[in-house]
């Protein structure tokens, strides 16, 4: 990686790490955003690089795709019905160095952003969230509570300014817990391969995440250009117009009488998690998926929804965070989710055993995760 990034790794930031892939051969440095964007597994799957191809999960994926895309197979699925839905954090993007990327963006806004002055109540709640993240004990109530608090912290910011804010933070903030990587590079290389493999086989790939939808849309633009903004479903704030005030949208005319209206981030709307993911898939896609990818019981409803497809042979995979050498998972956590997968017919993926690398060959785990929000990049 560039020297500036290595120096930056002494600073703190968010999320998780990534690394090391070129289009044709793995490098010894963390992959740049442009290198991530070049990952492209062929339709026949002949150029997978980051999977142990004798693993049961890899074989199951290849067998399923080859079966349902074969016009001669009784399990053939027409392209129009090849819908795949996938969680993001922990499924194809890191979430343990040191916690969710959205949460660290929120901590940055609360504790390090000189342009924002949180109220004492906001700051007190942010400290409670930080304490829970450090302890690894985030309750369901706090999960949604952070969504609401994060939404409030950016309410009134224009959509364009929020996109710039996300770009600046993700591009410059190094991960806390992994070396040689920013948040913009924190993708699981083997799963990026899976996404492109599925897309090249005619699967319509949707991200269905508990993270802020606009944040994810912007974060994916450069490293994952094959995922269009309209294929992202996530936790939402309601967009409003700058002059709208308390007026309902039915009483407001955009750019009325020569006004120059902007679309702004408005109030919190909903958290896209657990069974809510099924509701939003049904509402926004309108086609029951045939493939689902996830990494926790919070994705369980979405995974089971795909497996319950009444018309087509379906498939689900669960990423088990059992790698304590290259990442901050544990065998106990991995085994717990693996048991859930086996109970419901979901194919488990072992990060420790099934992948040759997670983020890249020169991205390594640090001795500690400091959660030191007093340090930050200066951009």
Predicted structure pTM score: 0.90
Residues 280-293, mean pLDDT to the nearest whole number? 98
For residue 174, tell me if it sits in a domain: yes
Number of H helices, E strands in the chain: 13, 7
Q: Is residue 372 reached through a cis peptide bond, with omega within 30 degrees of 0 on the bond before it?
A: no
Find all residues with CB under 8 Å of 287, minimum gap 6, and list them: 81, 83
Share of the chain above pLDDT 90, in %: 81
Residue 255: inside a domain: no
What are the structure tokens assigned to 103, written together? 């949460």
Please report whether residue 303 resides in a domain: yes
Residue 259: inside a domain, yes or no?
no
Q: How far is CA 83 from each of CA 25, 40, 292, rounded to the nearest angstrom?
A: 30, 19, 9
pLDDT greater than 60 at residue 302 = yes
Alpha helices in 285-318 (DSSP H): 300-307
**H/E segment holding residue 183:** none
Q: Do β-strands 232-241 and 315-320 pair in parallel, antiparallel, or remain unpaired?
A: unpaired
Specify the length of the chain in residues. 379
Q: How confident is the model at residue 378 (pLDDT cuts 50, 70, 90)?
A: very low
The answer to whether residue 111 sits within a structural domain is yes
Tell me how far apart the alpha carbons of residues 304 and 308 are, in angstroms, rounded to a whole number.
6
Q: Give pLDDT tens digits for 147-159.
A: 999 999 999 999 9
Average pLDDT score over residue span 97-126:
95
DSSP 177: S
What is the predicted pLDDT for the residue at 8? 31
CB 36 within 8 A of CB 187: yes
Output the pLDDT for position 31: 76
pLDDT classification of 30: cutoffs 50, 70, 90: low
In which domain, by residue range, is 79 found?
3-244+267-354
Inside any domain, residue 35? yes
pLDDT-based confidence at residue 2 (cuts at 50, 70, 90)? very low
Nearest to 277 by CA among 259, 249, 248, 297: 297
Q: What is the pLDDT of residues 324-358, one digit of tens each?
A: 999 999 999 999 999 999 999 999 999 999 999 99
Give the chain's domain count: 1
* Residue-by-residue DSSP string for 138-183: --HHHHHHHHHHHHHHTTT-BHHHHHHHHHHHHHHPBPSSBSS-BG
In a domain, residue 365? The reply is no
Q: Which two tokens stand for residue 352?
A: 């420790």
- Per the domain annotation, does 368 fall within a domain? no
């Amino acid at each position: 990686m560039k020297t500036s990034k290595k120096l930056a790794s002494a600073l703190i930031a968010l999320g998780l790490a990534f690394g090391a892939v070129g289009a044709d051969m793995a490098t010894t440095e963390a992959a740049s955003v442009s290198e991530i964007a070049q990952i492209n597994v062929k339709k026949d799957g002949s150029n997978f690089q980051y999977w142990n191809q004798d693993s049961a999960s890899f074989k199951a994926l290849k067998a399923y795709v080859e079966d349902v895309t074969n016009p001669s197979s009784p399990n053939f699925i027409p392209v129009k019905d090849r819908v795949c839905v996938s969680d993001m954090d922990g499924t194809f993007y890191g979430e343990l160095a040191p916690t969710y990327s959205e949460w660290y963006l929120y901590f940055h806004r609360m504790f390090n952003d000189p342009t924002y002055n949180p109220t004492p109540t906001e700051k007190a709640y942010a400290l409670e969230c930080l304490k829970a993240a450090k302890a690894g004990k985030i309750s369901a109530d706090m999960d949604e509570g952070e969504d609401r608090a994060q939404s409030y912290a950016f309410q009134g910011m224009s959509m364009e300014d929020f996109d710039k804010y996300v770009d600046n933070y993700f591009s410059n903030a190094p991960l806390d817990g992994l070396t040689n990587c920013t948040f913009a590079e924190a993708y699981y290389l083997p799963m990026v391969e899976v996404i492109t493999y599925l897309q090249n086989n005619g699967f319509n790939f949707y991200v269905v995440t508990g993270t802020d939808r606009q944040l994810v849309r912007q974060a994916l633009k450069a490293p994952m250009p094959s995922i269009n903004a309209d294929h992202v479903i996530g936790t939402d704030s309601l967009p409003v117009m700058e002059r709208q005030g308390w007026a309902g949208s039915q009483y407001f005319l955009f750019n009325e009488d020569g006004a120059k209206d902007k679309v702004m981030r408005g109030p919190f709307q909903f958290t896209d998690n657990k069974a809510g993911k099924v509701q939003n898939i049904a509402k926004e896609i309108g086609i029951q998926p045939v493939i689902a990818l996830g990494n926790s019981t919070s994705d369980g409803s979405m995974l089971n929804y795909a497996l319950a497809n009444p018309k087509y042979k379906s498939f689900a995979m669960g990423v088990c965070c059992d790698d304590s050498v290259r990442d901050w998972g544990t065998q106990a956590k991995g085994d717990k989710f693996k048991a859930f997968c086996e109970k419901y017919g979901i194919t488990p993926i072992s990060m420790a055993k099934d992948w040759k690398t997670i983020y890249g060959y020169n991205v390594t785990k640090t001795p500690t995760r400091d959660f030191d929000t007093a340090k930050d990049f200066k951009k």
